[in-house]
Amino acid sequence: MAYTKRFDGRKLDELRPIQAKVGVIPNADGSALFGQGDTIAIAAVYGPKILNPKHQQNPEKGVLRVHYNMLSFSVGERIKPGVSRRSQEISKVTEWALTPLVMLDELPGTVIDIHINILQANAGTRCAGINAAAMALAHAGIPMKEMISAVAIGSMGGTITTDISKEEEDYEEDGEKAATDIPMTFLSNSEKITLLQLDGAIPAKKLKEALEAGKEACKKINEYQKKALKEYK
Partner 1 sequence: MTYKVMKKNVMKAIAAGKRLDSRELFEQREIEVKFGVSNKAEGSVSVKMGKTEVVCGIKMGVAEPYTDHENEGTMMTSLELTPMSSPDFEYGQPSIQAVETARIIDRGIRESGFIDFKKLCIKEGEKVWSIFIDLATINDDGNLIDAGALAALLALRVARFPVYDEKKEKIEFGEFTDKKLPLNVDKMPVTLTFFKIGDSLFFDPTREEEDACDGRLTMEISKPGKEEMINAMQKGGEACLTIDDVEKMVEEGTKAHKKLSNLIETEVEKAEKSEKHGKKK
Q: With respect to partner 1, which residue has the nearer C-beta, 132 or 179?
A: 179
Q: How far is the CB of 56 from partner 1 (least distance, A)?
A: 15
Beta strand 176-177 pairing with 159-162? unpaired
Q: Which position among 197, 216, 219, 232 is part of the footprint of partner 1 (CB under 8 A)?
A: 197
Q: Does 93 bind partner 1 (CB under 8 A)?
A: yes
Q: Is 75 in the site for partner 1 (CB under 8 A)?
A: no
* Residue 72 in the binding site for partner 1 (CB under 8 A): no
Cross-strand pairs, 152: 183
| Residue 81 binding partner 1, by CB under 8 A | no
Rg from Cα positions in the chain = 18
207 sits near partner 1 (criterion: CB under 8 A): yes
List the one residue out of 192, 233, 186, 187 whose CA is nearest residue 214: 186
- Contact flag: residue 112 with partner 1 (CB under 8 A): no
> Residue 57 or 99: which CB sits closer to partner 1?
99
Minimum separation from the CB atom of position 219 to partner 1 (A): 14
| 45 alpha carbon, distance to own chain's centre | 15
Question: Which of 12, 196 has the CB closer to partner 1?
Answer: 196
If one asks whether residue 88 binds partner 1 (CB under 8 A), the answer comes out as yes
Binding status of residue 108 toward partner 1 by CB under 8 A: no
What DSSP character marks residue 174? T
DSSP 99: G
Alpha-carbon dihedral sign for residues 178, 89, 184, 11? positive
Handedness of CA 146, 149, 155, 158 (dihedral sign): negative
- Angstrom distance (rounded) from CA 189 to CA 187: 6
Residue 70 binds partner 1 (CB under 8 A):
no
Single residue of 106, 167, 172, 199 touching partner 1 by CB under 8 A? 199
Measure the CA–CA gap between 66 and 115, rounded to whole angstroms. Answer: 6
Question: Minimal distance in Å, beta carbon 73 to partner 1?
Answer: 18
